[in-house]
Structure 1
Amino acid sequence: MQSHGCSDYSRTEDIPFSSRSGRRSRLDGVVESDLLTRLRADLADAAYTVDRLQQLWGADADAALHRGDRVLALRTARAAGLAPVVLLARLFRLHDTLTGPELAAAFPALGVEGARALGLVGEAGRALIDVGPLTAIDGAGAAEWWIVSDLDEQALGGALPPDHVLGVGGASLTLAGLQPTTPVGSVLDLGMGCGVQSLFAARRATRVVATDVSTRALELAGATFALSGVDTVELRHGDLYAPAAGERFDRIVSNPPFVITPRREGVPLYEYRDGGRVGDGIVEEVVRGARDHLVPGGTAHLLGNWEYRDDEDGLSRVTRWLEQAGLDGWVIERERQSPAEYAATWIRDGGTRAGTPEFERLVGQWLDDFADRGVVGVGFGYLVLRHPAPGTATLRRTEVVTSPRPDAAAGLGDTLLAGFAMHDRLAPLDDAALAELRCAVAGDVTEERHYWPGADGPTVIRLRQGGGLARQIEADAALAGFVGASDGGLTVGEIASALAHLLEVEEGALLAQLLPQVRELLVTGLLTLSE
């Protein structure tokens, strides 16, 4: 599909959410100009924030909500009175039914009629759309936003409609953490959905262009930006890069609709996760198109998945895309699923319950599609791409990292960019020059040792990284000794010489063993350089 033009978010500020099919809503008309302004005032005055809601129902109920269990939180909220924040939480977070007086108390500025005019609530007193708080804390400080999205399958009680606009989930927070915090002039948010990535990008960029093929996503994201007071995002309608044809950006962020969906009759397609391509074609297309939309030195930060086939490894496929596009890239596979696991994951994601005839029918369609195309597995992870520039060294790195770490860890984007910069610095150095460097162990690195009972020495030495990707490095005595001695005072060569004497091994052989390990630990952040 081609671009259908663009609009500034302020053009959607006065557009209401009107009911559709009795349970959905969409922005499809113009009403009183201050409705969203009044709604924003209600949300702010009520202190409708993440912290306030967690205080309202407590840690146990909050943990249960993350497991999809709202019972404890709902019981607590219903007993907490009629404060606006309580009523807003019951309406939007807990999918409860409110009476007319309760709705009036929830929206003192907007009013019940205003809430219905916006399409927030139906005649039965239940939410038709989701408005949820989100907190961000990073190098730019703290921010409180309100995210507008569609109701999930739990609230709907069944499968999602095809034009569903997803709210904030684990993938959203993963990509937010993959965004660097360094300031830039311009960011392209490719497939922005409800707008959460644009909110994070706007904290670092002078200008953000957000695109989506879904008109509904544009409408809801526009409301997100209006409620959150963000006016630097320009919305454009169209498929992938088409709305930004001929333009270049300092940074691209994208959680593209990469789910591999069979192109078969009777398989539902969801705009928020299905990009209309066969297999992993949409991720390939995003990767290949990035160079033409990045300035030299610019970077793209993506989530995606890739197929493992009978005749090709999944990470090798991604490397081929990078090579053919002329891009640098660091690709990290966090998970790999079998065809059956992948099918079950995404069928459940669409709201179809396991064990039902429909679930089993859809699993069959997925497995037939994978078998026909020779797909034996699917990898999922992160991609950081770079348009090569003068002074940068080619880096095409793929790896599997399964260390336990929350995907939403902040600062991962900065960590990977630091790895690119360290690679650029080390690439021109030969072994002799590397041996003259002074290193220091990073402050988040710890060491653990395991011994057999009665053994004189450790059987396992493991270096653990506290930040970044929480890497776990199996080390021998030489590498562990080198890291332990790296305090910035001695050169790599001097430490290797001392270790060779201590371990009673040949110095040249030990140095040859350590040098590539030192390069790796510097690039991955377990070691730093001392100037």
Structure 2
Amino acid sequence: MDHVQHLIDLLRDDLTAGRYRVDLVDGLWGDAAAAALFRGQTEPAVRALDAGRASGTPSTPVESFARLFLLGQALPIGEVAAAFPRLRVAGAEELGLVVPAGGDAGRMRAALDLRPYSFVDTLGAGSWWVVSDLGEAVLGRALDKDHVLGIGGASTTLSGLMIPTPVDSVLDLGTGCGIQAMHASRHARRVVATDISQRALDIARLNARLNGIESIEFRHGSLFEPVAGERFDRIVSNPPFVITPRVDGVPLYEYRDGGLVGDALVERVVREAADHLTPGGIAQLLGNWEYRAAPPGSEEGGSDGLERVRSWVESGGAELDAWVVERERQDAPSYAETWIRDGGTRPGTPEFAALYGAWLDDFDARGVREVGFGYVLLRRPAEGARATASAAPTPAMARYERVAEAVGSNPAGLGAHLEACLAGHDWQAHRDDDALLASTLVYASDVTEERHYWPGHDDPVVMTLRQGGGFARTAPLDTALAAFVGACDGDLSVRALCAALAEVLGVDESLLVADLLPAVRALVSDAFLLPAG
């Protein structure tokens, strides 16, 4: 057995025996300190641990791991050795996990971040350990340019967005520490993970081995170059999409900066994804896009961010289904501040002022006023997918929308909801009105109806459908649509329901049908209503 792989296996044994788990780590210092740690503040957690030690509570491996890897404390060699009885201190050093603490030969400090991670997806609950580079809170300084990012908000967002249908192959483009490839391995026979950073690939390979995942192949190179000529059933990517000035003095972090001007990196991924998808294959990525003002003296308006993404999709050389969701938009100064702080440079310092000026100069030069952030889903049509029962072609899905921050409560994430919406769109798009009328529908289990009344009145003035999952969407109801949805229990066809409603409401059935069917199609596409059977 390869020596390094053997060391990783010993590390897994020690972490398992030491019960290094999310719940036990959080129990060391409580919710308030855990929340502070998430914000990059270690002091509350340190105080909680020190209070326990002062009371005579014996140190446990979980506490030692937490102090070492999460809080950045140097520990006596004896305590490190007790936490790693199989791997031993020498093995931990060889894996690059710990190094001697400067100025004190009797103590060790962490050289990498190593933390437990738990999640819930459609296959159930799971847990891993994830190695990455130390964050700014532990380093106490700006990040290195080759920093390998651990698990953050963006990575958990993308993993939650993954369509969970089992597939043969997945490409993780820009794998970083490997977290998306590991998630993808839960529903794919094989995964190819690429990155331009060899350091990132080494850490990702360690993480896969540490967690017993053998279905991932790691390849070095930029974007799609390592998979030229290959196609995949799924592509997932949290690409280095941060818009960074290309001038001297501005650090380019490999984990977030793609080396291109503006949002050109995301544009390239969107344009090239179709060439690497199998028929019916889906690409999902996170990204930024710019909102630009009109050039001085121009009679044309500025460019809308979502319309920029639409132009990338439509000029990519293939007729793709596209669903783009913008979740956030920042003005240019706020965006610059966010990402300068992300690199570890603090406001109020000369370094921050210099970087801030460079960012604003870049945005001004290119007319960028705002930056949008969101999700991109692209799907290559399956063979014959554009045909309907009547043989007339159906247009590609083209959803470009802004969604409020509310998200449903499903802990497994949005992936299953996206899958249900795609299925609903396909189902209704391939049925003409006669076929839709002959179908039966049921309302989804997470759908509720709200009614609001004027005081003392019997008739509602506002009626709304609300989703408990997905994007927590709402849909306005009128009397006919409310009655229709309420009767969708899978027993009667859409035609029969419309006939009954027309009789009860005293309206012409054909007019009611013409009014209801577009709304019904929209509710099916958003998974408020589901095909019965």
The TM-score, its normalising length taken from structure 2, stands at 0.89
Task: Look up the match of 1:223.
Answer: 206
Structure 1 stretch displaced more, 163-172 or 261-270: 261-270
Aligned letter for 2:246?
R
Task: Look up the match of 1:24.
Answer: none
Instruction: Please give the residue correspondences for 1:232-243 in structure 2 after superposition, counting only pairs within 5 Å.
Output: 232-243=215-226
Task: Look up the match of 1:515.
Answer: 517
| Partner Cα separation in structure 2 for residue 74 and residue 460 of structure 1 | 52
**Residue 109 (str. 1) matches residue 81 (str. 2):** no
CA drift of 1:341 comes to: 1.8
Task: Look up the match of 1:353.
Answer: 346
| Partner Cα separation in structure 1 for residue 415 and residue 12 of structure 2 | 31
**Residue 70 (str. 1) matches residue 42 (str. 2):** yes
Identify if the C-alpha distance between structure 1 residues 504 and 375 changes in structure 2 by more than 3 Å, giving closer, same or farther.
farther
| Partner Cα separation in structure 2 for residue 503 and residue 259 of structure 1 | 55
Give the secondary structure class of the aligned counterpart of 2:75.
coil
**Residue 321 (str. 1) matches residue 312 (str. 2):** yes
Q: 2:33 aligns with which of 45, 57, 61?
A: 61
Task: Look up the match of 1:462.
Answer: 464
Deviations 1:383-406 (A, max 9, x none): 111112223242121111114127
Task: Look up the match of 2:324.
Answer: 331
**Residue 294 (str. 1) matches residue 277 (str. 2):** yes
Q: 1:279 aligns with which of 235, 248, 262?
A: 262
Task: Look up the match of 2:71.
Answer: 94
Task: Look up the match of 1:381.
Answer: 374
CA drift of 1:475 comes to: 2.6
CA drift of 1:408 comes to: 9.0
| Partner Cα separation in structure 1 for residue 265 and residue 472 of structure 2 | 29
Return 5+ residue gaps in structure 1 as ranges. 1-9, 15-32
Task: Look up the match of 1:23.
Answer: none
**Residue 450 (str. 1) matches residue 479 (str. 2):** no
Task: Look up the match of 2:14.
Answer: 42
CA drift of 1:115 comes to: 2.1
Instruction: Please give the residue correspondences for 1:332-481 in structure 2 after superposition, counting only pairs within 5 Å.
Output: 332-393=325-386, 394-405=396-407, 409-481=411-483
Asked whether the equivalents of residues 403 and 470 of structure 1 are also in contact (C-alpha less than 8 Å), the reply is no
Aligned letter for 1:486?
C
Aligned letter for 1:246?
G
| Partner Cα separation in structure 2 for residue 132 and residue 408 of structure 1 | 24
Aligned letter for 1:205?
A
Asked whether the equivalents of residues 234 and 282 of structure 2 are also in contact (C-alpha less than 8 Å), the reply is yes
| Partner Cα separation in structure 2 for residue 398 and residue 446 of structure 1 | 26
Q: 1:488 aligns with which of 487, 490, 494?
A: 490
| Partner Cα separation in structure 1 for residue 355 and residue 460 of structure 2 | 51
CA drift of 1:72 comes to: 3.3
Asked whether the equivalents of residues 322 and 396 of structure 1 are also in contact (C-alpha less than 8 Å), the reply is no
CA drift of 1:224 comes to: 0.9
Structure 1 stretch displaced more, 51-60 or 381-390: 51-60
CA drift of 1:144 comes to: 2.5
CA drift of 1:455 comes to: 4.4
Deviations 1:61-102 (A, max 9, x none): 333333333333323334252211111111112222212221
Structure 1 stretch displaced more, 412-421 or 435-444: 412-421
Task: Look up the match of 1:26.
Answer: none
CA drift of 1:152 comes to: 0.7
Return 5+ residue gaps in structure 2 as ranges. 102-107, 294-301, 387-395
Identify if the C-alpha distance between structure 1 residues 504 and 267 changes in structure 2 by more than 3 Å, giving closer, same or farther.
farther
Aligned letter for 1:451?
Y
Task: Look up the match of 1:177.
Answer: 160
Aligned letter for 1:73?
A
Deviations 1:164-214 (A, max 9, x none): 110001111111111122211111110000000111111111211110001
Identity over aligned pairs, percent: 56
Identify if the C-alpha distance between structure 1 residues 336 and 513 changes in structure 2 by more than 3 Å, giving closer, same or farther.
farther
Give the secondary structure class of the aligned counterpart of 2:344.
coil
Give the secondary structure class of the aligned counterpart of 1:96.
coil
Asked whether the equivalents of residues 248 and 292 of structure 1 are also in contact (C-alpha less than 8 Å), the reply is yes
**Residue 127 (str. 1) matches residue 113 (str. 2):** no
Structure 1 stretch displaced more, 481-490 or 179-188: 481-490
Identify if the C-alpha distance between structure 1 residues 230 and 466 changes in structure 2 by more than 3 Å, giving closer, same or farther.
same
RMSD of the TM alignment (CA)? 2.2
Asked whether the equivalents of residues 41 and 137 of structure 2 are also in contact (C-alpha less than 8 Å), the reply is no
Deviations 1:415-454 (A, max 9, x none): 2233222222222322233233222110001122233434
Give the secondary structure class of the aligned counterpart of 1:303.
strand
The TM-score, its normalising length taken from structure 1, stands at 0.89
Deviations 1:472-528 (A, max 9, x none): 223333332322222222333333344445555544333222211111110111111
Asked whether the equivalents of residues 395 and 420 of structure 1 are also in contact (C-alpha less than 8 Å), the reply is no
Asked whether the equivalents of residues 330 and 371 of structure 2 are also in contact (C-alpha less than 8 Å), the reply is yes
Asked whether the equivalents of residues 410 and 470 of structure 2 are also in contact (C-alpha less than 8 Å), the reply is no
Query: Of the two structures, which has the highest relative contact order with CA contacts closer than 8 Å and spacing of 6 or more?
Result: 1
Identify if the C-alpha distance between structure 1 residues 475 and 375 changes in structure 2 by more than 3 Å, giving closer, same or farther.
farther
Structure 1 stretch displaced more, 184-193 or 462-471: 462-471
Identify if the C-alpha distance between structure 1 residues 478 and 346 changes in structure 2 by more than 3 Å, giving closer, same or farther.
farther
Asked whether the equivalents of residues 407 and 471 of structure 2 are also in contact (C-alpha less than 8 Å), the reply is yes
Asked whether the equivalents of residues 147 and 167 of structure 1 are also in contact (C-alpha less than 8 Å), the reply is yes
| Partner Cα separation in structure 2 for residue 525 and residue 92 of structure 1 | 43
Structure 1 stretch displaced more, 121-130 or 453-462: 453-462
Task: Look up the match of 1:143.
Answer: 126
CA drift of 1:233 comes to: 1.1
| Partner Cα separation in structure 1 for residue 239 and residue 24 of structure 2 | 32
| Partner Cα separation in structure 1 for residue 406 and residue 208 of structure 2 | 34
Give the secondary structure class of the aligned counterpart of 2:89.
helix
Give the secondary structure class of the aligned counterpart of 1:122.
strand
Asked whether the equivalents of residues 170 and 232 of structure 2 are also in contact (C-alpha less than 8 Å), the reply is yes
Give the secondary structure class of the aligned counterpart of 1:251.
strand
Task: Look up the match of 1:52.
Answer: 24
| Partner Cα separation in structure 2 for residue 355 and residue 458 of structure 1 | 55
CA drift of 1:158 comes to: 1.9
**Residue 186 (str. 1) matches residue 169 (str. 2):** yes
Structure 1 stretch displaced more, 238-247 or 63-72: 63-72
Aligned letter for 1:318?
V
**Number of equivalences:** 503
Asked whether the equivalents of residues 99 and 111 of structure 2 are also in contact (C-alpha less than 8 Å), the reply is yes
Identify if the C-alpha distance between structure 1 residues 344 and 455 changes in structure 2 by more than 3 Å, giving closer, same or farther.
farther
| Partner Cα separation in structure 2 for residue 407 and residue 375 of structure 1 | 35
Aligned letter for 2:188?
A
| Partner Cα separation in structure 2 for residue 497 and residue 175 of structure 1 | 44
| Partner Cα separation in structure 2 for residue 449 and residue 309 of structure 1 | 42
